Copies of this chain bind each other. A is one copy, B any other.
Amino acid sequence: MCELLGMNCNVPTDICFSFRGFTLRGGQTGHHTDGFGIAFFEDRGCRVFLDYQPSAGSPIAELIRNYPIKSTHVIAHIRKATVGGITLANCHPFQREMWGRNWIFAHNGNLENLPALRQRHYRPVGTTDSEQAFCLILETLRERHPEPPGSGDLVRTIVEVTRAIAGHGTFNYILSDGELMFAHCATHLHYIVRQAPFSHAHLVDEDLTVDFADLTTPEDRVAVIATRPLTDNETWTAMAPGELTVFKDGAPATFPTGDFE
C-alpha cells in the first residue's frame, strides 16, 4: 500500500518539515520504494515532481526537502506498487486540466473491476487502477457539469462518484483543484490543523523538532493530511471510513459519503 500526504493552508506555506518525515518512509523508515511524487499549486499554476526511485534516496526528493516552495495546496504520494509496474507513468500524483484549472489526484488502496471509462475527455496514460479512478471522477464531473459548478454542486458530485468507486475496493485519496482539497478515507487517513498558539512538533520518522511559532504569523492556519500521523507529540484526527473531508484555507468540513442526499 502507498502513503498519502496533503497540505492545505490559508497562506502559502512550505512543506519541507512534513515532507522530510514522509519521504523517509520511502525506503528508510518504510518500504514504499516504488516511486514518489509531489504537486504544488501556486495560484493557478501547478508543478509536479515525480520519480520512480525510492523517495528516501531520490535527488529530486532531496531538492524538495531543502527548497522551501510555498504553496496553499500540496499533494504528495509514496508508492508501493500493487497494480501497474514501477514506471514514471504510474507514479502519483496524476494531473489533468478541467474547466481551465489543474486537478491533482493521489490514491492509496486497491480497486478492482472499475466501470469502463467513456473516454470522452480523459484516458489513463499509465496502467494503475488509481489513474483510472481519477479519470472516472473527472469524466463524471465534466459530463454532469459542462461548466464549472458552484462548490455545493461540486462537492455533491464528488461525494456521489466517490461512493460509487469506493464500492470497488479501498479508496483513500486526496484530490485538489487548487481551491478546495478533498480527502476521502476508506481505511486510514489522519489530519491535523495547526493554528495559533503554535508550538513544537517532533517527527515520528526522524529525531527532528520544529517550533512553528518561529515560522508563522498568528493568522496562519495549516491543515496537514497523512495516511499515518507524521508527528508524535501532537493530536491528529483519525478520519472515519467513508468520510470525505473538504479543506479550504486550512479548515476542514466533513461529509459522510454514505448518506449525503
Instruction: List residues of A whose CB falls within 8 A of some B CB.
Output: 42-52, 59-60, 63, 67, 87-91, 95-97, 99-102, 121-126
- A59: B residues at CB distance < 8 A: 63, 67
In the complex, what's the smallest C-beta–C-beta distance from A150 to chain B, in angstroms?
18
Q: Which residues of B contact A51 (CB under 8 A)?
A: 47
Q: Given A59-B63, A102-B125 in contact, is the A48-B48 Cβ separation under 8 Å? A: yes
Among B45, B63, B67, B124, the residue within 8 A (CB) of A88 is: B45
Measured in the bound complex, the distance between the Cα atoms of B111 and A245 in whole Å is 43
- In the bound assembly, the distance between CA atoms of A102 and B124 in angstroms comes to 10
Cβ-defined contact, B100 with A123, below 8 A: yes
Tell which of B46, B60, B87, B97 touches A123, judged by Cβ atoms closer than 8 Å.
B97
A143 to nearest B CB, angstroms?
13
Asked whether, in the complex, the Cβ of B125 is within 8 Å of the Cβ of A101, the reply is yes
Residue of B nearest to A42 (CB): B88
Report copies per complex. Answer: 2
- Residue on B nearest A147 in the bound complex, by CB: B119
The 4 closest A-B pairs by CB, nearest first: A45-B88, A45-B89, A100-B123, A44-B89
Determine whether the beta carbon of B47 is less than 8 Å from that of A88.
yes
Contacts A59-B67, A95-B95, A97-B96; A44 near B126 (Cβ below 8 A): yes
User: Given A99-B123, A100-B123, A125-B100, are A88 and B43 neighbors across the interface (CB < 8 Å)?
Assistant: yes
Residues of B within 8 A of A87 (CB): 42-45
Please state if A49 and B46 are interface contacts (CB–CB under 8 Å): no
Q: Could you jot down 23 A-B contacts, CB within 8 Å?
A: A42-B87, A42-B88, A43-B87, A43-B88, A43-B89, A44-B87, A45-B52, A45-B91, A45-B125, A46-B89, A47-B49, A47-B50, A47-B51, A47-B88, A49-B49, A59-B63, A59-B67, A60-B67, A95-B95, A96-B97, A97-B122, A100-B124, A102-B125
- Bound-state CA distance A113–B256 (Å) is 48
Residue of B nearest to A101 (CB): B125
List residues of chain B with CB within 8 A of the CB of A89.
Answer: 42-46
Task: Please give the distance in Å from A37's CB to the nearest CB on chain B.
Answer: 9
Cβ–Cβ < 8 Å partners of A49 in chain B = 47, 49
State the CA gap A63–B67 with chains docked (Å): 11
Cα-based distance from A43 to B50 in the complex (angstroms): 14
A256 to B206 CA separation, bound complex (whole angstroms): 60
A97-B125, A121-B121 are known contacts. Are A50 and B60 too (CB-CB below 8 A)? Answer: no
